[in-house]
């Protein structure tokens, strides 16, 4: 039976692979690009001032390697943690707390 399942799975994956016409692997952003990305996202949301300290932005980059989806997730978690703490600026300590919360969610 495992052989049949494996064959079926491979056939399904092959069918999907045939429908993908283009593949491209994007590298993560640099540290400076990550900081600019965070600022841009905040600007789009209507925030005109920096909400993340330099240390917080560096930690976000270190953890996410500049991958935008991960940057978004960590920034959102840090903003929520900062809101709970009534912070006006998100510091590295708040990012660390958000990291712990995200890791706990992933584990559990």
| Three-class secondary structure assignment of 29-85 | CCHHHHHHHHHHHHHHCCCCCCCECHHHHHHHHHHHCCCHHHHHHHHHHHHHHHHHC
- What is the CATH T-level fold of the domain 27-107, as seen in this structure? Helicase, Ruva Protein; domain 3 (1.10.8)
Query: pLDDT per residue over 77-108, tens digit each?
Result: 999 999 999 999 999 999 999 999 999 988 87
Question: CA separation (Å) from 88 to 50, 64, 85, 102?
Answer: 10, 23, 9, 21
Contact between 77 and 90 under an 8 Å Cβ cutoff? The reply is no
Q: What is the pTM of this model?
A: 0.77
Provide the token pair at 76.
């959102």
Query: pLDDT per residue over 64-79, tens digit each?
Result: 999 999 999 999 999 9
């Amino acid at each position: 039976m495992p052989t049949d399942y494996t064959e079926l799975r491979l056939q399904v994956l092959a069918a999907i692979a045939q429908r993908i016409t283009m593949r491209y692997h994007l590298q993560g952003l640099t540290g400076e690009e990550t900081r600019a990305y965070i600022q841009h996202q905040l600007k789009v949301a209507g925030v005109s001032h920096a909400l993340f300290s330099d240390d917080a932005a560096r930690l976000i980059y270190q953890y996410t390697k500049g991958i935008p989806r991960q940057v978004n997730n960590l920034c959102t978690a840090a903003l929520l943690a900062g809101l709970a703490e009534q912070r006006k600026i998100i510091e590295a300590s708040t990012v660390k707390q958000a990291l712990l919360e995200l890791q706990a969610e992933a584990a559990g």
